[in-house]
Amino acid sequence: MLLCDFHIHTKYSDGSVELRRTIDLFGQAGFDVIAITDHVVNGDNGIGKLAHRFRLSVRENNFDEYISNVRQEAERALDKYGMLVVPGVEISKNYLSSEKSAHILLIDIKEFISASWSFEKIFLAAKEQEALIIACHPHHMSDFSRETLFLWNNRDKYAKYIDAWEIANRDDVFNVISLKKYPYIANSDFHRARHLYSWKTLLNCEKSVESIKQCIRHNKGVAITLFRN
């Protein structure tokens, strides 16, 4: 099965490791598929404005540069490690209340999508680009300051747009996803080198972007594993 991690941050947002070094860490650890998913933060409130000021967000004016650098690194990763690297973002709608906040991975994104848009507009734009839509850390976490509960609390309205939910994020496991029988994957939410050791996804499919998206959407041949040194 393919060893995969679809939730990875670099210095393009709040990760502490440069893109190139991140690729090397995962390549040397033997990963088959990864997605680089730096934050795109909503700029419509104080928290978002600070994130933009401190460059902790990919912005509309550097999105193309970000994607083209990820694609360039993807070529190197395929050559050097046989590892597939897919460009993505984590749409990050941050509010003071965790009940209003939501984070969404868009994997295989091609054009900029703003985190200040409405949920419907984001989901429809992502579908148009055929990006994979993943609800991140959807339930209570060991670090409650990172909680984002909006999508879970509004699942009756939004589940139809979501291709899969994170059933595990780094050290946390969300049993509600399994109880609801929602499609699932597991990711590191990598920000530092030590986050390499965390929950991961295993996929039984071909190593191509299309096969991976299909495998996750159908959610057959999917497993999770706790990757340790």
Contact residues toward Zn ion (CB under 5 A) are 90, 103, 136, 189
Q: Where are the beta strands (DSSP E) in 9-157?
A: 33-41, 84-93, 102-107, 132-135
Q: Which of 196, 138, 193 is nearest to 168 (CA)?
A: 138
Q: Is residue 85 within 8 Å of residue 77, measured between CB atoms?
A: yes
Beta carbon nearer to Zn ion, 195 or 205: 195
Nearer to Zn ion, 84 or 151 (CB): 151
Longest Cα–Cα distance of the chain, Å, equals 44
- Among 60, 70, 64, smallest CA distance to 91 is for 60
How far apart are CB 168 and Zn ion at their closest, in Å? 13
Parallel/antiparallel/unpaired status of strands 199-203 and 222-226: antiparallel
Query: Of 163 and 189, which has the nearer Cβ to Zn ion?
Result: 189
Report, in Å, the least distance between residue 94 CB and Zn ion.
9
**211: enclosing H helix or E strand:** helix 209-218
Give min distance, CB of 80 to Zn ion, in A. Answer: 25
- Percent composition of the chain: helix, strand, coil (DSSP 3-state, to 5): 35, 25, 40
d(CA 132, CA 95): 24
| Shortest Å distance, C-beta 88 to Zn ion | 10
Least CB distance from residue 71 to Zn ion, whole Å? Answer: 21
The CB-of-15 to Zn ion minimum distance in angstroms stands at 9
Nearer to Zn ion, 135 or 215 (CB): 135
Nearer to Zn ion, 94 or 213 (CB): 94
Nearer to Zn ion, 65 or 143 (CB): 143
